[in-house]
Amino acid sequence: MESFDTDKDGTWSEQEWTLYKANQKLESELRKQRKQGLMAWAALVAMFIFTAMLFTPWVTIDRLDSLASMSDLFYVAQAGIVGAYVGVSTWMNGR
């Protein structure tokens, strides 16, 4: 916090407070973007793990039939998360 006291007089001027608030807002936005990116990566990894588990010997044809409707919804939901993140990120970078 001392780095925002540009004239090193021990008190913050209005300009120094404005700089500090702008920095806090930027850091908050970056944390939010990082968490959204992690959420998208987690969704993508979950899709890959779920797909890989379907090909293991523990999952029989009977289980696949019962998982069919749930897996469709799972893939649509996960792809929606990934697609929304990529789309919004691209749109925000293009502005």
- Tell me the pLDDT tens digit for each residue of 22-37: 888 999 989 998 999 9
Q: Which two tokens stand for residue 81?
A: 């998360």
CB neighbour list of residue 75: distance below 8 Å, 6 or more residues apart? 47
pLDDT in tens, 40-91: 999 999 999 999 998 998 888 888 888 888 899 999 999 999 999 999 988 9
Please tell me the predicted confidence (pLDDT) of residue 82: 95
Please tell me the predicted confidence (pLDDT) of residue 95: 73
- How far, in Å, CA of 23 to CA of 72, rounded? 43
pTM of the model: 0.72
Please tell me the predicted confidence (pLDDT) of residue 76: 95
